[in-house]
Structure 1
């Protein structure tokens, strides 16, 4: 069995080269090139010896590799697959963001940050992504709206050429930063969790990684965290140490608002590691927050309440459209119905994992179209322009 122990690292390096080190940045391409021939030679010698364990190991690795790649292909982050229809990267700020808007003063150092995180490596933001950031920037003119993106180059100060970056750069309080995960998780219980070599091969890696980022951001820096499928209707700064109830007895972390180093977020980080299960959807997200809140308050059922300084907000505050009724976003509503539905709402979660394949007519009276029009008008104007250009091209 001694040969098996020497063969397995070689096999893992051959089929999973990214697992040779904690990150690709820690290994040089030249070193891999020199190591690979010796591994292939070892592999050839062992397989040619016709020993059953060698053949079994090789078959097992091949089957595992094929299965994992297929599984990840099915469950990869859907937003990274959504096409964006921006036809030009050139944006006129005067046209899309009139100077009459009171956005020229920039953020105040005393105001809390609003955070967005993109854990996939995509750098072609969708209309919804742009709307989320724009609506947050408009409703929080005194706050920095910080967008962390894993796909941004760490040493390159220029943003990719895409209309969304040009448009959102018109807002002086919006900042785009590369997402350095090792740096973010350092000094927290999640540092060792992230460094496990096989972490990237779990079926729900992207959503779990997003769950990890948000609770660490809240604990380290405080402020407001929002998923990139929120449309913000009003300022969220007075919702401190709060999270929302998505439906009966379940909390959701798509919106979080906490002061730095809050004990609740510390407990969330501890639970993340101690009760970790990356193979169950939501276990590190809504289920984690629900578990911790119930322990925090010593309760069995969650209602709209405040407990030891942490608030569970009623569904209408940030989840007025339940995930089961996401299709309502694409239904036409009257102005009075629109106002009645959202009179107690601070932000609307669009449930992008469910709704991203549904076509939105622009312009229309659909609830989602009206949200775009009123709360991210610059993005909406770009959507209209692109829709008109595509229609002309189709003729």
Structure 2
């Protein structure tokens, strides 16, 4: 019930950029509440409560996966024997949600800068390798259905990412012979746009500490729609945004999630 400040920043930044679309955040803490009472849940998060297009929904896996190939897999699974169960659940529900309802999925360590102009797209993490941390499809798209089928048929819970980036990459390569990225050009694969890594990963995994360094001149990220902050490493190294530090993450918060930034700056509670 107390998501990290980066999560609140991610939600706020998305809501500011996509003002004409609902931005939905799913939380396990609301699993027992009335499903029709969702609109009021933003009151628990003061920095989000003023944004009318943000909705907090309970994460009810059985409901989300119902009607998909993932439902029977979920019911037969034994979480105690799964090494990466939380990651696998996250991989499964994002596929089911986008297949059912369409739209854009984003991990909560992604700060949105500007709208993604493509409806059906995958994000390249590097050449010939797709991320599943951000993607978008129309409802009932054949790619998301093929991913769910392959998820079950080729399930390997002992390998991290097997049902995530590796799965997306495998299905994409079945559709197209992917070339290497050139310059900052995206790749078209049938009716799917495979977007250049700079669109969402302008700072790669190996350079993640740059977000917490002081910059004389901040990058414009003019070629990016959003910025992925590699939260696994942030948590592992206990790095946080410090207001006024003049670091890159300080700059991103200040400009793209100002309500969250100001609350942290004033040492106000982020939670009701």
**TM-score between the two structures when normalised by the length of structure 2:** 0.90
Partner of 1:290: 169
Deviation (angstroms), 1:259: 0.5
Larger Rg: 1
Higher helix proportion: 1
Partner of 2:259: 378
Aligned 8 A contact 1:127 1:379 in 2: yes
Q: Which consecutive aligned stretches of 4+ in structure 1 deviate over 3 angstroms post-superposition?
A: 156-162, 300-304
Alpha-carbon distance between aligned partners in 2 of 1:319 and 1:160, rounded to the nearest angstrom: 29
Partner of 2:211: 329
- 1:143 and 2:55 aligned: no
Residue 227 of structure 2: which of 344, 348, 363 is its match? Answer: 348
Partner of 1:269: 148
- 1:307 and 2:176 aligned: no
Alpha-carbon distance between aligned partners in 2 of 1:160 and 1:338, rounded to the nearest angstrom: 32
150-159 or 247-256, which deviates more: 150-159
1:346/1:160 Cα in 2 relative to 1: closer, same or farther (>3 Å)? closer
CA RMSD of superposed structures (Å): 1.9
- 1:366 and 2:244 aligned: no
Q: How does 1:61-140 map to 2 (within 5 A)?
A: 123-140=1-18
Deviation (angstroms), 1:282: 0.8
Alpha-carbon distance between aligned partners in 1 of 2:190 and 2:128, rounded to the nearest angstrom: 18
1:314/1:215 Cα in 2 relative to 1: closer, same or farther (>3 Å)? same
Alpha-carbon distance between aligned partners in 2 of 1:367 and 1:192, rounded to the nearest angstrom: 44
Aligned 8 A contact 1:229 1:351 in 2: yes
Alpha-carbon distance between aligned partners in 1 of 2:79 and 2:233, rounded to the nearest angstrom: 25
Alpha-carbon distance between aligned partners in 2 of 1:301 and 1:203, rounded to the nearest angstrom: 34
Aligned 8 A contact 1:250 1:302 in 2: no
- Which ranges in structure 1 are unaligned for 5 or more consecutive residues? 1-122, 390-395
Deviation (angstroms), 1:151: 1.7
Aligned 8 A contact 2:14 2:23 in 1: yes
- Which structure is higher in RCO with an 8 Å CA cutoff and minimum separation 6? 2
Alpha-carbon distance between aligned partners in 2 of 1:311 and 1:359, rounded to the nearest angstrom: 33
Query: How many residues get paired?
Result: 259
Deviation (angstroms), 1:221: 0.6
What SS class does the counterpart of residue 151 from structure 1 fall into?
helix
